[in-house]
A = this chain, B = another copy of it.
Amino acid sequence: MQNFDYQTPTRLIFGKGVIRKLPDVMAAFGKKVLLTYGGGSIKKIGLYQKVLELLAGYEIVELPGIQPNPKYDPSVLEGVRLCKEHGIDVILAVGGGSVLDCSKAIAAGACYDGDPWDLITCKVKAKAALPIVDILTLAATGSEYDIYGVISRTETNDKIGYGDPLLFPVCSFLDPTYTFSVNRKQTAAGIADAMNHTIEQYFTEDTTLLNDGFCESMLRSLMVNGRKCLDNPEDYTARAEMMLCCTYGCNGILALGNTYSGWPCHAIEHALSAYYDITHGWGLAIITPRWMQHILSERTLDRFVKYGVNVFGIDASLDKWEIARKAIDETYAFFESIDIPMHLREVGIDESRIDEMAHHIAVNEGLEEAYVPLDEPAIKEILVASL
């Protein structure tokens, strides 16, 4: 086991109707709130109105229109400007992972005099950040319980994940009923996202019975409950369990003491999204089985066997290589079964920029340190196999 230093201070308030506690939580901060959200779905489900009603008496400045794969320009820059102009005390992020990720960059940028990009690229370490409270409306990224955000800069094809312990949300409101209206495509993308978070942490060294079991339970639960959410979008129990699973995705608890895996699928997918602005969870679903195929070897075989037997219930008495190949096939088949397009061409990506993306990933993502190191030709091979 590796040494670790772990802390998750975020308060999770979970369940139907918990938003009634919002005024109590917000009372700990000042009266000037930056309300961040996306394309307006929170108005359709009445959540926007409810928040304004609960926060009567607060001075609320709005930053709407945060996009999926949230953009540095205009969202982060505009948010930082608003915080500074209005002397904002606290950010209330209402939406999914993109709104939260963007709000994290704003929270740090608001307390920094220079260009916020310095913080995102880790050139400068943030010294402070505004507190963030969030009300989650999409189960997927785990941003509600971690320190990370991913920000895209279109002009340079950068999609950068950054993190700082200052950026743990102070409090996350997790009401599964807010995810009832999430459509089939986004629900499936969320399942794939959370499954990939787990897989990224499962395939590594120095794993434990405990972590392996936790990851395997996550994957089984996400498949069972994810499918129920797709079949019946208002199945509270399934939406709730899926939401809880997603929450554990990225705060490290699935891999305490494991060797750092390098999160290779994320590294590759970030380039896909940066170049083509595709749905993150779809990109991960497409890459994952091809990456698995690439890393399967004598050295990694036992990991695949454990994964296949414990996650998919493949007969443990079969030949190890057969189990491993079946496990990869099952992974692919599950994503396909929830209607995720499983080829890059289906999401508008052809071979024209494969070389450029492979080079970008190899130069920027440090995958020579991954569980199975990936150099530029390896990355290209995975991308080509995904076409």
Contact = CB atoms under 8 A, between A and B. Distances in A.
Interface of A: 1-18, 21, 176, 208-210, 212-214, 216-218, 220-221, 224-225, 236-237, 240-241, 244-245, 253, 256-257
A216 to B, nearest CB: 7
Contacts of A5: 11-14, 18, 21
A1 B242 CA distance: 11
Contacts of A225: 209
Contacts of A245: 210
A241 B7 contact: no
20 contacts: A1-B241, A2-B15, A3-B14, A4-B12, A4-B14, A4-B15, A5-B13, A7-B10, A14-B256, A208-B244, A209-B217, A209-B221, A209-B225, A210-B218, A210-B244, A213-B216, A213-B217, A214-B217, A217-B217, A240-B257
A152 to B, nearest CB: 31
A212 B208 contact: no
Given A1-B237, A9-B9, 8 more contacts: A2-B15, A6-B14, A7-B10, A14-B256, A208-B244, A209-B220, A210-B241, A213-B216
A18 B257 CA distance: 13
Residue from the set A3, A224, A236, A253 with the largest chain B CB neighbour count within 10 Å = A3
A15 B258 CA distance: 12
Contacts of A257: 14-15, 240-241, 244
Contact of A214 (B4, B7, B11, B213): B213
Contact of A213 (B10, B12, B176, B221): B221
Contacts of A220: 209, 213
A221 B217 contact: no
Contact of A16 (B3, B217, B218): B3
Residue from the set A21, A209, A216 with the largest chain B CB neighbour count within 10 Å = A209
A9 B12 CA distance: 11
A21 B4 CA distance: 12
A224 B244 contact: no
A224 B209 CA distance: 9
Nearest to A3: B15
A343 to B, nearest CB: 31
Contacts of A244: 1, 208, 210, 256-257
A306 to B, nearest CB: 12
A14 B211 CA distance: 15
Nearest to A13: B5
A209 to B, nearest CB: 4
A17 B217 CA distance: 32
Top-6 shortest CB links A-B: A213-B217, A3-B15, A209-B221, A7-B11, A1-B240, A210-B221
Residue from the set A212, A213, A224 with the largest chain B CB neighbour count within 10 Å = A213
A12 B16 contact: no
Contact of A209 (B7, B8, B9, B241): B241
Contacts of A11: 5-7
A241 B213 CA distance: 13
B210 A217 contact: yes
Residue from the set A8, A236, A240 with the largest chain B CB neighbour count within 10 Å = A8
